[in-house]
Structure 1
């Protein structure tokens, strides 16, 4: 189900092997479930006192209904509870919807990673964002 949502959500989805590699002590894997149906997930890596949001995806069936915000807030609360001091993330510069969500939740842009993401016409820059938790 994770791979299905991933493939629907991204032009360049993670492979199953990338997801399997995230089952490590310093990673946190979260699922958003409605009834018995997986509707979203997130992958966060803990490094020292920093939570790095590596992947968050919501099923296209429920996008725009607040599920992404709910999951993001949960990740932030859990990261704080686990002693993390900040959360960082990368987001495609073209992903205005996700950028707006992160900004509305208090994240600020702290930099840009040139050519970070694969894109149909080559590579795309990533906006780096951070929030103290």
Structure 2
């Protein structure tokens, strides 16, 4: 653990030496890579830790006119899942109009199916998160920028 702290301190010192414009470009690339990983997880319908999401509920209505597309196909697009960066941070988040839907599904909250419709408790389906793949990607991007 002590060795990791030394590596973190060394990386922090190197990052502090980069100009703000270079840090912004680097963090923008990191945010794009992290967004791509999150989109892949949503496409595969799995949580960031690798576990599969709970499938949609079957109902009487579902059988006759069932939904044929996968969950969150539009929510994972770059229109709603934004990657932003500045000289001090990189962020991957949903836009304002998509945040409510994402929050309800991420935490498994209650929400109305449609305006004036019944209120339903949704299953928790984590959309965004950090895992080993994200950490490795971030470390590789940092080393690539610091080396070149």
Question: After TM superposition, is the score higher than 0.5?
Answer: no
**Structure with the larger RCO, 1 or 2 (CA within 8 Å, 6+ apart):** 2
Pick the structure with more helix per residue. Answer: 2
TM-score (norm 2): 0.26
